[in-house]
């Protein structure tokens, strides 16, 4: 059929089964927004900032496993969105971001709201397109969704000049894709998988190292079966929380800079690392030369560029995690349950020596208690988003995650301001779950305008502000490594968060005791509107354990020994 470029965008979104998109209109994308107005198939959520639109699409994608979609305009509309693109790129989140551009005749003239969006997005997207002819749009959009969701997922950017959205051309979305230079290898090599299973059978202290790729591949339940079948202990990265349930006896916990003593020591003592969908990030490995230095390394990843990039793999396997793990289960060599019993006891001893804990011994509320309490009260009924800082690490440490896609946070880029708009996207994707955003008094102000989005769209996100009047994580580093020179980290001058929420039409609570917190959380859930719960917490609490930057995993700063009340 002959339709306009703007209509093609709508028809492509419908053909891809898109149900929800996020965005912010402007001059260059106005033709597309006119067509959005006319359709009734999918829902458009108007955010109050383009960065928030991308983060909301990220949250939607992380919670649902679907491709997130955002539509923005040219110039500052696009530059505002770049942080979200970079965040999605670092965390391998499948997005299709469509931006408007000035008409073709004005490109390169420094026209009003012109920016080289393609040049800017090249380094922070999996792929990008400048569409110069409406006839190309069906193929481009179909490719964009395929590339975003296949192989190692990531954001794809499609930039469309305004005159192209007005052009009339033939729309045919039934075309077959044939990308000669892009053919992800999804099946693992059977012979290599057999070698891996033999190496596992011969190892005395093997350890599963589970990364975010397990969740991206929707392979969590297959991995659970493999871990159970082999009886091998497992550690999770920050991005993999929820792959194993918190009550799984074979889950050691999170490893890395703020991982547990048991997890980091297990990685230091293992003789075979079985890395599934992990990229050996510096926050996980610490000093590379000391990382699992006496172990063989199995590395399974969909991205061949990630394998042996940082740690040399003895058993490299390129393939989709789900496919490879299914093959591993089929080839599984019989391993007697008692084979790794001593290894499991060793790890248990590590945990008993320095358990993941905190001292709840002051009149002030400890931030860890708040997270534990939400876990006790809500557990699996909540999806947990976070901003970035101390609260993020405490959430990863202390919330009892029971399923994949329950924990939504900014990993690789570490974007303050991510949590609230992401939690809006999470709620849009999973309305049946309570959407909690753990945030700090620094992070929440970076996208607090999204209160209006949540109110307008009736998306009752509960923002729990762990308020210590500091940029907490930076302050912690200043305490430990800068002789307590608190340069520009004191946030004692703050807004009234209760009034701020109420001004937008939400609800607010100021909490100073544990009893008040329980009452506030229960009331916020019952009220079912967007909420700020401002919790005054211990100001100088540190996230422990901690591996100093560049240090070895086995050389951790630990919590001082006291009995937990």
Which residues are annotated as catalytic?
A: 50, 112-113, 162, 473
| Cross-strand pairs, 464 | 438, 533
Distance CA 335, CA 290 (A): 29
C-alpha 239/C-alpha 275 separation (Å) is 13
Which DSSP helix (H) or strand (E) runs through 502? Answer: helix 497-504
Supply the DSSP string of 163-222, one letter for each residue: HHHH-EEE--TTPPP--TT-----SPPHHHHHHHHHHHHH-SSEEEEE-HHHHHTT-HHH
- Return the closest-CA partner of residue 228 out of 243, 211, 212, 213: 243
Instruction: Provide the token pair at 13.
Output: 């979104």
Q: What is the rounded CA–CA span in Å between residue 382 and residue 378?
A: 6
Q: For 85-124, what is the HEC assignment?
A: HHHHHHCCCCEEEEEEECCHHHCCCCCCCCCCHHHHHHHH
Length of the chain: 565
135 to each of 1, 274, 366, how far by Cα in Å?
11, 47, 59
Are 162 and 100 in contact, with CB atoms under 8 Å apart? Answer: yes
Beta strand pairing call for 315-318 and 382-386: unpaired
And the tokens for 235?
């550690």
With a CB cutoff of 8 Å and minimum separation 6, the contacts of 465 are 439, 440, 441, 444, 497, 532, 533, 534, 535
H or E, element range at 419? helix 419-429
d(CA 373, CA 307): 39
Provide the pairing of β-strand 155-161 with 407-408: unpaired
């Amino acid at each position: 059929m002959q339709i306009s470029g703007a209509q093609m965008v709508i028809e492509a979104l419908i053909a891809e089964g898109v149900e929800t998109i996020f965005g912010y209109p402007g001059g260059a994308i106005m033709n597309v927004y006119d067509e959005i107005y006319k359709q009734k198939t999918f829902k458009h959520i108007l955010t109050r900032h383009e960065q928030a639109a991308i983060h909301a699409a990220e949250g939607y994608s992380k919670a649902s496993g679907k491709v997130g979609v955002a539509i923005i305009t040219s110039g500052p509309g696009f530059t505002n969105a770049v942080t979200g693109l970079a965040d999605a790129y670092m965390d391998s989140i499948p997005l299709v971001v469509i931006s408007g551009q000035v008409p073709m005749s004005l490109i390169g003239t420094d026209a009003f709201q012109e920016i080289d969006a393609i040049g800017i997005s090249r380094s922070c997207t999996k792929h990008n397109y400048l569409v110069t002819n409406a006839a190309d749009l069906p193929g481009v959009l179909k490719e964009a969704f395929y590339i975003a969701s296949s192989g190692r997922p990531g954001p794809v950017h499609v930039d469309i000049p305004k005159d192209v959205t007005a052009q009339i051309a033939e729309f045919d979305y039934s075309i077959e894709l044939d990308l000669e230079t892009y053919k992800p290898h999804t099946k693992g090599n059977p012979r290599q998988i057999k070698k891996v299973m033999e190496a596992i059978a011969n190892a005395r202290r093997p350890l599963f190292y589970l990364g975010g790729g397990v969740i991206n591949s929707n392979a969590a339940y297959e991995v659970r079966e493999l871990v159970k079948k082999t009886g091998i202990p497992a550690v999770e990265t920050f991005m993999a929380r929820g792959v194993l349930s918190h009550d799984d006896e074979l889950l050691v916990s999170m490893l890395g800079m703020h991982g547990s003593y048991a997890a980091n020591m297990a990685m230091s003592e293992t003789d075979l690392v079985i890395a599934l969908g992990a990229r050996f990030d510096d926050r996980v490995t610490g000093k590379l030369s000391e990382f699992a230095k006496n172990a063989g390394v199995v590395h399974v990843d969909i991205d061949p560029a990630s394998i042996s990039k940082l740690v040399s793999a003895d058993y490299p396997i390129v393939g989709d995690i789900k496919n490879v793990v299914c093959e591993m289960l089929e080839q599984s060599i019989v391993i007697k349950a008692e084979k790794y019993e001593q290894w499991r006891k060793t790890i248990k001893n590590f945990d008993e020596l320095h358990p993941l804990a905190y001292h709840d011994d002051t009149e002030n509320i400890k931030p860890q208690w708040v997270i534990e309490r939400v876990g006790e009260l809500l557990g699996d009924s909540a999806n947990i988003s976070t901003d970035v800082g101390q609260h993020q690490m405490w959430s990863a440490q202390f919330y009892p995650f029971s399923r994949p896609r329950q924990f939504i946070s900014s990993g690789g880029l570490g974007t303050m301001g991510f949590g609230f708009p992401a939690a809006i996207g999470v709620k849009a994707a999973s309305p049946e779950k309570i959407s909690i955003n753990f945030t700090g008094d620094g992070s929440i102000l970076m996208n607090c305008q999204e209160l209006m989005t949540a109110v307008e769209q009736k998306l009752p996100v509960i923002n729990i502000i762990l308020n210590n009047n500091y940029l907490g994580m930076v302050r912690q580093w200043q305490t430990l490594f800068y002789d307590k020179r608190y340069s520009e980290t004191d946030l004692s001058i703050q807004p009234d968060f209760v009034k701020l929420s109420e001004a937008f039409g939400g609800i607010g609570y100021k909490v100073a005791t544990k009893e008040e917190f329980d009452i506030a959380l229960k009331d916020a859930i019952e009220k079912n509107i967007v909420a700020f719960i401002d919790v005054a917490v211990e100001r100088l609490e540190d996230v422990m354990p901690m591996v100093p930057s560049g240090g070895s995993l086995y050389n951790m700063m630990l919590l001082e020994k006291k009995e937990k009340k």
